[in-house]
Amino acid sequence: MTCREFIEAAESLNPLQLRLMETANQQISTHTRECAACGKWLESQKLLGSALQVLRAHTAQRAAGPKVELAVLEAFRTQGFEPVAAVAPDRAAPAAWKLSRFFEVGAYAAVAAALIVGIFLGARMWHDRQAPPSQVPVQSAAAPQQINSGVTTLADNSKISGNVTTKMARKSANSATANRAAVGPNRPQTANEQSIATTVDRQGFVALMFCDPLICSGEEQVIRMELPGSAIGAGEGNGSQPVIADVVVGDDGLVRAMRIVN
């Protein structure tokens, strides 16, 4: 330990602490034995500490006389103490405080309402997200069944009975317009399939192909055409007579369905 380090360590201590430190710190005791100046300084500080301790001990029992206590207590008794202001009762609350309470309650109610609405909307959104994946397969799976059950394919067209043809013939020309709307371009593909399938029953259209969603997409039009009787497999007696039919044509040029008008 150098003299500088010794001074830095000893500067912050009072004489009593220095005495304790000297006995506790081996480095300090060694340094004070080796360095005469530091040893002398430490000894003087220890002596000062002892002298201050003597002074402290000689005045430790000193205190103010009884007359001081009497004077102070007399002053206390004559002192007028103002009571601490009591908490104001509720009815004495100012209007501004009541108004602030009103707004406070309103704020709490608004927060509660917002929370309820948020929970409701969140549950609704969660429900909506959960529902579509379970419904879409059902629709897509159901559509082909309806088509298969309600639509007579092209191969079966030769077996169309005259009864069916008669029923088709009774349909009015207005139904063609309705069909045009029913096979509009913006409808989903499954709806197209369903509409074609259901028109067999309701409008008399006969599907001429299986409407795969990839094939039957796009715009469709109903065109009234005059076809040779042989083209639709009419009887031999009527083979030379033209047949008026409504034909559903897709934007790819393929015929989706057909209805015999006359």
Partner 1 sequence: MAEVALLTEHTDEQLLAQALDGNEDAFTALYRRRQGAVYRFALHMSGSPQVAEEVTQDVFMFLLQRGRGFDPSRGAVSAYLFGVARNYVRRAMEKNHSEALMTTPAEDDDPFLVTDSDPVDGIARRQTSKAVWKAVLSLPEHYREAVVLCDLQELSYAEAAEALGCAIGTIRSRLHRAHEMLVRKLQSSAPALAGFSGDAARCLS
Least distance from C-beta 32 to partner 1, angstroms? 11
At 191, the amino acid letter reads A
- In eight-state DSSP terms, residue 153 is P
User: Can residue 54 be called a binding residue for partner 1 (CB under 8 A)?
Assistant: yes
Binding mask 180-219 for partner 1 (x = CB under 8 A): ----------------------------------------
94 binds partner 1 (CB under 8 A): no
Q: Is 12 helix (H, G, I), strand (E, B) or coil?
A: coil
Does the footprint of partner 1 cover residue 66 (CB under 8 A)?
Answer: no
HSE-CB for 137 with a 13 A CA cutoff: 3
Does position 62 interact with partner 1 (CB under 8 A)? The reply is yes
If binding is defined by CB under 8 A, does position 11 make contact with partner 1?
A: yes
Tell me which DSSP letter residue 138 carries. Answer: H
Which one of residues 4, 24, 84, 128 is an interface residue with partner 1 (CB under 8 A)?
84
Q: Contact between 251 and partner 1 (CB under 8 A)?
A: no
Task: Determine if 123 is a binding residue for partner 1 (CB under 8 A).
Answer: no
Strand order in the sheet with 206-207: 206-207, 255-260, 242-250, 220-228
Residue 56 found at the interface with partner 1 (CB under 8 A): yes
Orientation angle between helical segments 95-150 and 189-202, nearest 10 degrees: 60
Structure tokens at 221: 């039009």
User: Is the CB of 86 or the CB of 95 nearer to partner 1?
Assistant: 86
Residue 33 sits in the site that holds partner 1 (CB under 8 A): no
Distance (Å, whole) CA 120 – CA 114: 10
Is residue 127 involved in binding partner 1 (CB under 8 A)?
A: no
| Contact status: 85 vs partner 1 (CB under 8 A) | no
Q: Which helix (H) or strand (E) holds 11?
A: helix 3-11
Q: Which amino acid is at 25?
A: N
Could you tell me which residues are beta bridge partners of residue 206?
258
**3, 20, 37, 52: which one contacts partner 1 (CB under 8 A)?**
52
| Nearer Cβ to partner 1 (39/229) | 39
Dmax over CA atoms of the chain, in Å, equals: 150
Q: Where does this chain bind partner 1 (CB under 8 A)?
A: 11-12, 14-15, 39-40, 43-52, 54-56, 58-65, 68-69, 71-73, 75-77, 79, 81, 83-84
